Copies of this chain bind each other. A is one copy, B any other.
Amino acid sequence: MSAASRVKRLLRDRAEVVVFEKNGWVSFALCGTPYYIGCRVRRLEELTYYPVEEFTRKRGIRINLYTEVVEIEPGERRLRYRAADGSTGVYEYDYLVLATGAKPRVPREWLVFENVFTLHSLEEADRIRSYIVSNNVRRVAVIGAGYTGLEVAENIRELGREVVVVHSREHVLNKVLDPDMASIVEEKAREKGVELVLGKRAEAIEGDEGRARRVVLRGGDVVEADAFIAAPGIEPNVSLASRAGLRIGETGAIWTDERMRTSDEHIYAVGDAVETRDVITGGRVWWPFAPAGNKQGYVAGTNIAGGDAVFPGVVRSSALGAFGLYIASTGLREEDAARYGFRPVAAYLRARTRSHYFGGGPEIHLKVVADEETGRLIGAQAVSEDSSAFWRANMVAALIWGKATVWDLFSLDQSYWPGANPVWDPLTVAARLLLRRFRGRKWVTLS
């Protein structure tokens, strides 16, 4: 919708813009679905940014809901679609934008049970909430402790149900947090009554009479529950693109150039289906988060309309809130950095978020990772009950974006007000800790 809106904004009546959507919603907040399950969001409509009429009437975009594109014929510049009533059609395009998103990576055989769910659409969120409420579900097993898994677990707990999270890795959120930081989240999750079963892969779901009863873990342990949410991870939805012969990148997502054009000059691709550039490593990365997707849509739309815009890539920023904590991460984890050719050094600290004479504020756990050879910042993770964890990680993201060094983190002219931070901000203290690893270094700064 971001690409569609951008084209219409720039070309107005000179362009016909048509959207094909397999499901019943456009411009919706997938990130909000856990909160719908937990009833913090009451109605599904609240998870849309605009009513459909905003796009159709006001922006002049034609929208076909419940209409699935089943094939693309790049040579003919046309696509074939099938509507909900079974009718089919063909549409000829000058430019096509693929925004096919991602999908849960779940064994098909798990989904035969009526009480096993995935969560990757508003419809699924609705089914989960209905099921839990209507069937008086007492205990829910969540498979996977990534973003979706943890947010769903928290929300089901909020509904007063028992929750057990089963995760194949030793620590939660293992794609964005190092083990030391993940432990802090785990402690808080357990405090809130969430049971965590870590380091055990879910091998099978067993049940009878169409209802799942238990998850069987590698090694043979079982976890019983009344409902199951499978969130072991997602993968890019590239089937249409693959069949159309478009180049799939090394990450398994659709390849595009920085103008968001695929290997076919008339086809652009954006969002969770595409890979992008990792600004830190210079390599390719699949980073399926909403802000990047929206901006890629804006960039694709601009270019289709005759402009010239690039999407430079990501620094792997992401965040979530769970169990009363703000959890934010940017850049590479200390554990991953060596794999990309860096020599990681890290500073970890626990500090108060505000000045002591303003009560100090909640504690923040902050970790900053740098490269020992160049002094460049390459990552940060922050966890706190205070929202400044979110922002402090974002501050490091902004510095990494500019290829800043540890000395930049130290010197950066951050503002200070006792009600918002201590005069030696935790970020500055982290820089000081890191500087011990760089004694005698001649620093070059951005400034």
| B-binding residues in A (CB < 8 A) | 29, 31-32, 35, 40-41, 46-47, 49, 279, 289-292, 294-295, 298, 307-321, 326, 328-330, 355-358, 387-388, 390-395, 397-399, 401-404, 408, 410-421, 423-425, 428, 432, 439-440, 442-443, 445-447
Partner of A321 from B289, B307, B387, B420 at Cβ < 8 Å: B420
List the B side residues contacting A46 at CB < 8 Å: 356-357
Q: How far is the CA of A387 from the CA of B395 in the complex (A)?
A: 14
Once bound together, how far apart are the Cα atoms of A88 and B45, in whole Å?
Answer: 78
What chain B residues lie within 8 Å of A395 (beta carbons)? 391, 394-395, 398
Q: From B326, B414, B424, give the contact of A420 (CB < 8 A).
A: B326
Task: Give Cα distance in the complex from A419 to B392, angstroms.
Answer: 16
Q: Is the CB of A393 within 8 A of B418?
A: no
Q: How far is the CB of A424 from chain B (nearest CB, A)?
A: 6
| The residue from B394, B413, B417, B423 contacting A415, defined by CB atoms under 8 A apart | B394
* With A388-B391, A391-B388: A423-B290 Cβ-Cβ less than 8 Å: yes
Q: List 19 A-B contacts (CB under 8 A).
A: A31-B355, A291-B416, A291-B423, A309-B443, A312-B411, A313-B447, A317-B413, A321-B420, A330-B413, A387-B387, A388-B391, A390-B420, A395-B398, A397-B412, A398-B402, A398-B404, A401-B402, A401-B408, A402-B402
Give A405 Cβ to nearest chain B Cβ, in Å. 11
- A424 & B394 in contact (Cβ 8 Å cutoff): no
Known: A29-B357, A32-B357. A420 touches B387 (CB 8 A): yes
CB distance from A398 to the nearest CB of B (A): 4
Of B311, B356, B391, the contact of A411 (CB 8 Å cutoff):
B311
Q: Across the interface, which residues of B come within 8 angstroms of A35, CB to CB?
A: 357-358, 418
Contact B402 A403 (CB under 8 A): yes
Is A447 touching B312 in the complex (CB atoms < 8 A)? yes
A294 to B413, CA, bound (A): 11
Q: Which of B279, B394, B443 contacts A414 (CB 8 A)?
A: B394
Q: With A291-B424, A318-B416, A398-B399 given, can you name 11 additional A-B contacts, CB distance below 8 Å?
A: A31-B416, A49-B356, A279-B447, A291-B413, A307-B439, A307-B440, A313-B413, A395-B395, A402-B408, A402-B446, A402-B447
